[in-house]
Amino acid sequence: MPVPSTTPDWAFEREHWRRGHFRVAGVDEAGRGAWAGPVTVAAVILPGTAQDYPFRDSKQLSAAQREVYAAEVRRVALSWAVEHAWPEEVDRLNVLGATHAAALRAVARLAPPPQALVTDYLRLRTPLPLSAPPKADALSYSVAAASLLAKTERDRLMAELDAAHPGYGFAAHKGYGAPAHRAALARLGVSEVHRRSYAPVARLLRGETDPTRLL
């Protein structure tokens, strides 16, 4: 199975290791930009052995690769957890606030607990030492591992929502604003798993049904 050329490393984790924080959790999310379904956040603590892994940013991989590598993450991780912020929470807190809340829930479930965090630009309110560089899912093994769990778990949930809400095409577009999704919204209306605070959905709720304007 080919591995993408962009290779993460342990640079961010090493900064924490030097300070005696050896259980470093990587945190990443999937689904922030979608119009429907949850924002899914994963937290992963990998063994602090600085060995190479095949883990990569989930956006660089095929669906089949993601499933294989996600299973490997679950096998080797010292601890991992996945949490979801569902549309009601997204609408109530806004998407960034809901993402932060789900991330903190995932971190709280890790056992053994982390001593430091590396996130993909999520500046969480936490007493733990935190590194939050942009593009961390492509740069850090721990964050790449979290990216794989968040993406595969959210894709699984969107397939379930597709079966529960036929016609929207959730399994294909994962709730993002694809043309097929815009057309389905105009045809079927807003479902219970859509984010009502998002502008395209809010327009429909106001009675604007032209799919070309759902942008």
pLDDT at 5 > cutoff 60: no
- Determine how many CB atoms are found less than 10 A away from the CB of residue 52: 10
Q: Is 160 annotated as a binding residue?
A: no
Instruction: Report how far residue 48's alpha carbon sits from residue 76's, in angstroms, rounded to the nearest whole number.
Output: 11
pLDDT tens per residue across span 123-132? 999 999 999 9
pLDDT at 2: 42
Q: What is the pLDDT of residue 209?
A: 64
Query: In the structure, what pLDDT confidence band is assigned to residue 50 with cuts at 50, 70 and 90?
Result: confident
pLDDT band at 48 (very low <50, low <70, confident <90, very high): confident
User: In the prediction, which pLDDT does 174 show?
Assistant: 98
- Does residue 193 carry a pLDDT above 70? yes
**More reliable by pLDDT, 109 or 60:** 109
At 7 the pLDDT is 87
Q: Can you give the pLDDT at residue 84? A: 98
What is the pTM for the complete model shown? 0.93
**pLDDT > 60? residue 211:** no
* Average pLDDT over all residues of the chain: 94
Q: Is 29 annotated as a binding residue?
A: yes
Instruction: State the pLDDT at residue 70.
Output: 97
- How sure is the predictor about 4, in pLDDT bands with cuts at 50, 70 and 90? very low
- For residue 15, is pLDDT > 90? yes
